[in-house]
Amino acid sequence: MCFSITSRSATSSRTRSRFATPATPRWSCGFRRLDEVSSVQELRPPVESAPLTFAALAAATVTRWRTVLVVATGVVLLAMVLTFVLPPSYRATTSFVTADASIELPQSLSQLVNQPGLSGLAGQLGIGTSRDPSYSPAFYDKLLLSRELLTRLVESRFADPRSANPSDSANLVQLFGIKSDDSLRAVELTVRRLRRRARVTFDPQTSFVSVQVDARWPTLAADIANYAVGLVSAFNKEQRLSRAKAKREFLESRVEAAQSELRAAENAQRAFYEGNRQWRESPALSIEEGRLRRQVETASTLYLLLRQQYEGARLDEVNTTPLITIVDRAIPPRRREWPHRAFIAVTAGLLGVVLGVLWAGTRALFASWAERNPREAGLLRSAATRMATEVRHTLPTRHSGIGRDR
């Protein structure tokens, strides 16, 4: 409650002059009421000030250079603290060259393949001069970042850099610190993180592929990069042997069929010659002889082509030559890739200056607005002061209530 108290001079003897200043009431409450502040400010004459120009705003901001300096220093200090708190990251790089999988045929066979009647069959058999897309550098880009290969990497075990015992090992779920009650979910999260930390670049003209892996420890980064390339080589070998086996089995059946067709054509030609020794004198027999001769030539060429491909498939089935040639193996890096403290300090300094200028400019704008609108500024300050007071009085009450509940 608020009580109005009148000064003693207002109630003294009546002998005082009638022109004496009347007594002014004083409110005994702790806070001045906003309506009284409003009434007092309404009586004040409005302050006339020139509109804020860009030059005035710039000058007001420059005069607050200490604010800019404090904000910039705070941002730089915070950034430098984060560089010591955040774990470092090391990048290991390995590179390899893909093998050329193009199939060059002899000139006679190439002309046969390009014929309209046999081009489709040659394409189905995988015969031609074009390059296999699965051997292109773009294929390895997709393969190295595929879910299957990354899952194998995650489930593989690597030397634990956290342990002093060289024989200790752990998988990437443990090394990356992924916590989950579901093992499949943990593997999925680790695969996502590993995909973000791996980068593959390639040059289509030179078939040069580069693999970069970032990890917290340099030895782990190098081990992951080298093991990934090893998985790619094993995958190529497995896929090549599988395709060579399937191709050999298919060509084996086609060679037998082509051989049977060739024998049938040769038998038909031999029977024609035995039954028509004077076929050159008959136009009809000459045409028939030419047809039989073309059948034998076509069947013979197709048989030779299939036989050659069959022998090549048999060689590929037992071929263990790697399809990629490693140029540089990954070695543990000596310097960390992140964080670069000098770069972070410069960037944080520039950012701090920008934030400081914005803060100083905001304060200058508010000061100019408060000068032109003293009533609204007074109300805003009073409301902010009252809110801060209520918050300070509320927090201890809540803490004490929580303590009593406990």
Structural domains in the chain plus CATH codes: 4-40 (no CATH), 54-87+340-379 (no CATH), 90-328 (3.30.1890)
Task: For residue 168, give both structure tokens.
Answer: 């200790």
What does the pLDDT read at residue 92?
94
What does the pLDDT read at residue 379?
87
Beta bridge partners of 208: 97, 203
Gyration radius of the chain over CA positions: 45
Question: Amino acid identity of 38?
Answer: S
What does the pLDDT read at residue 10?
41
Taken in order 389, 392, 393, 395, the sign of the CA dihedral is positive
> Taking Cα atoms as reference points, which of 86, 88, 66, 78 lies closest to residue 348?
78
What does the pLDDT read at residue 360?
87
Q: How far is CA 318 from the centre of its chain?
A: 39
DSSP code for 338: B
Taken in order 347, 350, 351, 356, the sign of the CA dihedral is positive
Taken in order 12, 17, 19, 21, the sign of the CA dihedral is negative
What does the pLDDT read at residue 30?
42
Whether residue 102 contacts residue 129, with contact meaning beta carbons closer than 8 Å, is answered with yes
55: left (phi over 0), alpha (psi -120 to 50) or beta: alpha
Whether residue 258 contacts residue 303, with contact meaning beta carbons closer than 8 Å, is answered with yes
Whether residue 288 contacts residue 279, with contact meaning beta carbons closer than 8 Å, is answered with yes
What does the pLDDT read at residue 339?
77
What does the pLDDT read at residue 19?
40
Q: Give the separation between CA 36 and CA 42, rounded to whole angstroms.
A: 10
What does the pLDDT read at residue 255?
92
Q: Give the separation between CA 216 and CA 222, rounded to whole angstroms.
A: 11
Q: How many CA atoms lie within 13 A of 281 on its CB side?
A: 3
What does the pLDDT read at residue 50?
58
For the beta sheet containing 198-203, the strands, ordered from the edge strand earlier in sequence to the opposite edge, are: 198-203, 208-215, 90-98, 324-328
Q: Give the separation between CA 96 and CA 199, rounded to whole angstroms.
A: 14
C-alpha distances in Å from residue 171, one per residue of 160, 164, 212, 218, 331 = 9, 17, 19, 16, 20
> Taking Cα atoms as reference points, which of 342, 339, 341 lies closest to residue 216?
339
Q: Which residues of the chain have pLDDT under 50?
A: 1-47, 101-110, 112-113, 125-130, 398-406
Contacts of 288 (CB under 8 A, 6+ apart): 272, 279
